[in-house]
Amino acid sequence: EPEVTQTPSHQVTQMGQEVILRCVPISNHLYFYWYRQILGQKVEFLVSFYNNEISEKSEIFDDQFSVERPDGSNFTLKIRSTKLEDSAMYFCASSGQILYNEQFFGPGTRLTVL
């Protein structure tokens, strides 16, 4: 069964450092998403991506964040200068349609900013 994969599973970084979180969406999906979950809080939308551009982003997704699909399989989230409050689980998701269709989530990357 196809699945979304994410690497690394856990990333520890120092405040102010850049991190890149990687995702491989399901191969025939066209819509890609990043979400995050801070410990004890609900899952929050960060950004959606379609046709090589951002289709929507949340208030959380400021200038420190960027996304890229550098090739036909990977989808990355970059945080340029991490802050303590960026510590969270980051989930990548993909779907075959934008509406009325489930999104499939990866296992997540736990980001710890020290």
Q: Which residues bind another protein (CB under 8 A)?
A: 4, 6, 31, 33, 35, 41-45, 48, 55-56, 58, 91, 93, 95, 98-100, 102-108, 110
**What is the spatial distance between Cα 36 and Cα 52, in angstroms, rounded to a whole number?**
21
Least Cβ distance, residue 16 to another protein (angstroms): 27
What is the smallest separation between the CB atom of 11 and another protein, expressed in angstroms?
14
Q: DSSP 3-state assignment of 53?
A: strand
* Cα dihedral 57, 65, 75, 34 sign: negative
Q: Closer to another protein at the Cβ: 55 or 73?
A: 55
Nearer to another protein, 50 or 66 (CB): 50
DSSP 11: E
Min dist. Cβ of residue 53 to another protein (A):
13
Least distance CB 18 / another protein (angstroms) = 24
CA distances 62 to 20, 40, 95, Å, are: 15, 22, 24
